[in-house]
């Protein structure tokens, strides 16, 4: 299996875990705060976990403070697409607010991979930790 394809598969697995963390947090936060606040809080919690899984598992690179601080850039597109999608699905298309975030998150996956790879992978040494 070529290295880029393996990386995409690992990214997908991390995405499944990350989506589960996000969704569980989202449902819990919806019990105490409005939908959009629950979305933002759940997104932040999931992003921290995603950073470490992306470093160690997906891209096999050492986490650093610099990468940690830049990693939210890789999620900016994800956040914008999923937030706009959630709003559109719930408020315009009347999709159930328990299902809408999953649909919105799926639309942002390809963009997130490209940007995360750019932020986390050192261009001179393809990776710092080998499988």
Q: Grade residue 125 by pLDDT with cuts at 50, 70 and 90.
A: very low
Whether 126 is in a domain gets the answer no
Q: Which pLDDT score is estimated for 31?
A: 97
Average pLDDT over residues 87-108: 90
Please choose, from the candidates 81, 76, 74, 84, the residue with its C-alpha nearest in 3D space to the C-alpha of residue 51.
74
Whether 43 is in a domain gets the answer yes
Q: Which pLDDT score is estimated for 91?
A: 95
**CA atoms of 90 and 34, how far apart (whole Å):** 13
Residue 43 sits in which domain range? Answer: 3-120
Both tokens assigned to 58: 């997906």
Q: Grade residue 123 by pLDDT with cuts at 50, 70 and 90.
A: low
Whether 131 is in a domain gets the answer no
Using the predicted structure, report yes or no on whether residue 1 has a pLDDT greater than 90: no
Structural domain tally of the chain?
Answer: 1
Q: What is the mean pLDDT of the chain?
A: 86
Instruction: State the distance between the two ends of the chain, measured CA to CA, in whole angstroms.
Output: 13
Whether 127 is in a domain gets the answer no
Neighbouring CB atoms inside 10 A of 66's CB total 9
Q: Which pLDDT score is estimated for 122?
A: 63
Torsion angle, CA of 27/29/31/37, rounded to 10 degrees? -110
**CA atoms of 110 and 6, how far apart (whole Å):** 15
Average pLDDT over residues 102-115: 83
């Amino acid at each position: 299996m070529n290295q880029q394809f393996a990386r995409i598969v690992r990214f997908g697995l991390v995405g499944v875990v990350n989506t589960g963390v996000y969704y569980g947090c989202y449902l819990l936060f919806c019990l105490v705060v409005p939908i959009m606040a629950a979305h933002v809080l759940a997104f932040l919690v999931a992003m921290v976990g995603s950073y470490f899984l992306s470093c160690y598992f997906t891209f096999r690179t050492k986490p650093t403070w610099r990468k940690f601080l830049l990693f939210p850039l890789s999620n900016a597109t994800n956040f914008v697409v999923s937030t706009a999608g959630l709003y559109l699905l719930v408020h315009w298309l009347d999709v159930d607010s328990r299902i809408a975030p999953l649909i919105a998150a799926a639309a942002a996956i390809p963009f997130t991979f490209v940007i995360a790879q750019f932020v986390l992978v050192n261009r001179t040494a393809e990776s710092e930790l080998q499988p």
